Amino acid sequence: MPAFDATGWAVPRFFFNTRIGDELVADPEGEVLRNADRAWEVARSMIEELLRTEGTHAVLLTAIIEITDEQGEIVLVFPFAEAMFGSLNRSATRH
């Protein structure tokens, strides 16, 4: 069932499923977000937090988050390695 914002516009629900090798850890609840760009930001933050708490184990570096819509269609795929290397690049260029 679609969610609606304060103005009555339908807002999509995204599901953040984690794939580690052949194993898929499904997100049964999802999160209502304004668009796919925001879902990408949320996925990046989730991965960065997990890498901070769990470390950069080799198995995590091959993991991905599959962001799907309410119909189960993959909207975005975000590799953990991309988030890790993106974090390194951002911190290296900040003063």
List pLDDT tens digits, range 40-83: 999 999 998 988 888 777 788 889 999 999 999 999 999 998 88
Q: Please choose, from the candidates 30, 23, 58, 35, the residue with its C-alpha nearest in 3D space to the C-alpha of residue 46.
A: 30
Q: Output 1 or 29, whichever has higher pLDDT.
A: 29
pLDDT of residue 35: 93
Q: Where are the domains of the chain?
A: 3-93
pLDDT(32) > 60? yes
Provide the pLDDT confidence category of residue 91 given band limits of 50, 70 and 90. very low
pLDDT of residue 92: 44
Sign of the dihedral defined by the CA atoms of residues 5, 40, 84, 64, in that order: positive
pTM: 0.79
Tokens 């103005």 identify what position? Answer: 7
